[in-house]
Structure 1
Amino acid sequence: MNSHDAAGQLPPADPTTQLFSPPGHFYSPISSVADADRARAQRAGLELAEPYDLRAAEQVELAHRLGPKWADFSQSWCRYDPVNLWYGLGDGAVYYSMLNALRPKHLVEVGSGFTSTIALDVRDHDLHDLELTFVEPNPERLLGLLKDGDHKAITIHKNAVQDIPIETFDKLGKNDILFIDSTHVSKPGSDVNWLLFRVLPRLSPGVVIHVHDIFYPFEYPDSWLEQRRSWNESYLLRAFLSYNNVFQIMFFNSWIWQKRPEIVRRYLPESVSEEPGSIWLRRVA
């Protein structure tokens, strides 16, 4: 799975940082080998205790509405290339179909790159009035994917999302999209905390939220656990959605690929073995 294998380019560690406890210690957020083994062993049990509403029937219905567009996805490619390590064919096809189904007026992407090329391609083909805002503190990949003239038609914030005006998100309304591809790490001052605690509660009802690198059942792939990435956004999001009547699950890409593969085989058979990792939510109250 491409999205499972992408580690990205890591910046150098801060040599001034002094650790309170060593990695793998029970006080450290960095998991040990035993922690990773325990997480893998407990994966099946996560499906037995789901304090959130998967809305399975609604997901299946939506999949059949979106599915015909998945087959058309390749016809829209101009900037986007599915052979990349960050946002593969399955996630890309769902994103493309969501844009076509929702027809948003505004899209704010927090974390940009290959995902942005899908939005730009859809805007060129169909959604000519779509207003695009990209928030990307490391914009080199994004800038390298843009075509001549794209800069004039988009807004790019080359800052961490915590450092841009929070009012940026106030323009989002019904069927508009907040697209999140964060650092995936909850820690003091992180983008994950800012988005979950400050931005999501501020959104208007009807806004649709995408979060990348979330896999059913809110656990990371075994290969990532073995690499001891120690990302924790998925666990925080699971807690956020538990007993939550304000935000609901619209579409869980990973769940569809795992539990309803016949839908994938029907509409996008070339991706059936490449499980995507995104979840789509909507604020409903």
Structure 2
Amino acid sequence: MRLKRLVYGLSTICRIRELGYFIPYRYAAGADREALDYPWIKQLFSVNKKRSFIETLEKLTPYTEDLKKIKRHSSDPDEPRWGQDWFPGLDAAVAYGLVRARKPKQIIELGSGHSTRFLLRAIADGGLDTAVTCVDPAPRAVLPEQELELIKQPVQTVPLEKLPKLMAGDILLIDSSHIAMPGSDVDWVINNILPSLPKGALVHFHDIFLPDPYPAEWRWREYNEQISISALMAGGRVTPFFSSHFVRKYLSESVVKLGFDWIPLELNSFETSLWTEIAGNEFYKN
């Protein structure tokens, strides 16, 4: 991985081909990114949102038997499975449960893969009339395209009018590059898609460790999306109602008490779903 970073870095700095970002910052040596945390978010989650986090888990109860029917491993590429670390444990279970409980008419997913399989299983198990649109320039997984619309483009190149109009109760799942830079997909989503969403739309962010920093072993990825999401919560645009990372790390007794400790979790995998709800009306209509 270090060699790959070196090649990418030299290619970018030497202007051979842009494969990332280089940002000069004279105080970079003194920045301890692993020690950084967000105490106000920890208080928000621990005090203000603890009840809503637990209530979200409780909503899975009616679907426990259906969730248990999902195998740990499956040779069928269309089937969801627990034995993977891309969308593991609570991430998968809560996404499945929220689709069953909320019955959205539209789901837009930025990215695709194991998460998509759990969404489609929830729709099928619930007999729902839900349309799924995935925007992914390079899908890693084989998906049943007869069950969804797949747009193979970077989201920032997709005109807003080409995307389905989301209403209250509909779902936007965001699992993009996680790099908040001018012109990136994160920039486009936060400053174009999110302002157009109506009150009551659900927004899911993946690979979010708030209130903690990104893990040290992920430093090479240079993710910085959490900074933007923290600002969205501080400004009141989105209201969090579930965090897989927070629940697993700080409310693990609730997982056991509610009977969800059976959910398989691969060794060294990270549960990182952050579920939020749009708290105000759209700023503009697309």
Query: Partner residue of 2:271?
Result: 276
Does 1:249 pair with 2:244?
A: no
Partner of 1:178: 172
Question: What is the match of residue 59 of structure 1?
Answer: 53
CA contact under 8 A between 1:178 and 1:209: conserved in structure 2? yes
Q: Does 1:137 align with 2:151?
A: no
- Residue equivalent to 1:94: 94
> Which of 196, 204, 207 in structure 2 is aligned with 1:202?
196
User: Does residue 258 of the first structure (1) align with residue 253 of the second (2)?
Assistant: no
Match of 2:211 among 192, 217, 220: 217
The amino acid of 1:18's aligned partner reads I
Distance 1:238 1:126, change over 3 A: same
Letter in 2 for 1:184: H
3-state SS in 1 of match to 2:134: strand
For residues 260 and 86 of structure 1, the distance between their equivalents in structure 2, rounded to whole angstroms, comes to 22
Which 5+ residue runs of structure 1 have no aligned equivalent? 1-8
Q: Which amino acid aligns with 1:127?
A: G
Describe the superposition over 1:216-273 as per-residue Cα deviations: whole angstroms up to 9, x where unpaired: 3152123223xx32110011111221131x3211211111112211121233214578
Q: 1:120 aligns to what?
A: 120
Q: Identify the residue that residue 223 of structure 2 maps to in structure 1.
A: 231
Aligned partners of 2:41 and 2:210 also within 8 Å: no
Could you state the TM-score of these two structures normalised by the residue count of structure 2? 0.79
Tell me by how many angstroms 1:115 deviates: 0.8
Counterparts of 2:59 and 2:238 in 1: how far apart (Å)?
Answer: 21
- Say yes or no: does 1:17 pair with 2:19: no
Q: Is the 8 A contact 1:250 1:281 kept in 2?
A: yes
Q: Distance in 2 between matches of 1:240 and 1:280?
A: 13
Q: How many residues align?
A: 258
Q: What RMSD over aligned residues (CA atoms) do the two structures have, in Å?
A: 3.0
Structure 1 pair 120–19 and aligned structure 2 pair: CA distance change class (3 A):
same
Asked whether 1:157 is paired with 2:151, we answer yes
Cα displacement string for residues 46-66 of structure 1 (whole angstroms, at most 9, x for unaligned residues): 22x349843222222232233
Structure 1 CA distance for aligned equivalents of residues 207 and 79 of structure 2: 22
Bigger drift between 164-173 and 107-116 goes to 164-173
1: CA distance, partners of 2:182 / 2:52: 36
Code of the aligned partner of 2:51: A
Identity of aligned residues (%): 26
The answer on whether the counterparts of 1:218 and 1:238 sit within 8 Å (CA) in structure 2 is no
Q: Could you say what secondary structure the match of 2:59 adopts?
A: helix
Q: Is the contact between residue 36 and residue 213 of structure 2 (CA under 8 Å) also seen in structure 1?
A: no
Decide which moves more: 251-260 or 56-65: 56-65
Alpha-carbon distance in structure 2 between the residues aligned to 1:19 and 1:62: 49
TM-score of the aligned structures, taking structure 1 as reference length: 0.79
Query: Structure 2: which amino acid aligns with 1:180?
Result: I
Letter in 2 for 1:269: D
**Quick check: 1:192 aligned with 2:192?**
no
Show CA shifts across 1:150-197 (max 9, x none).
Answer: 323321100011111212445211111001101000112100000111
CA contact (8 A) 2:103 2:128 kept: no
Deviations 1:19-70 (A, max 9, x none): 69x9685269xx76x64xx223333xx22x3498432222222322335535
Q: Secondary structure of 1:134's match? A: strand
1:236 corresponds to which letter in structure 2?
S
Amino acid at match of 2:244: N
* Structure 2 CA distance for aligned equivalents of residues 74 and 109 of structure 1: 24
Query: Any idea what SS the aligned residue of 2:99 has?
Result: helix
- Give, in whole Å, the separation in 2 of the partners of 1:136 and 1:265: 36
Residue segments in structure 2 that go unaligned for 5+ positions in a row: 16-20, 72-77, 281-286
- Of stretches 156-165 and 167-176 in structure 1, the one that deviates more from structure 2 is 167-176
Residue in 1 that maps onto 2:18:
none
Amino acid at match of 1:135: V
- State the shift of 1:137 in Å: 0.3
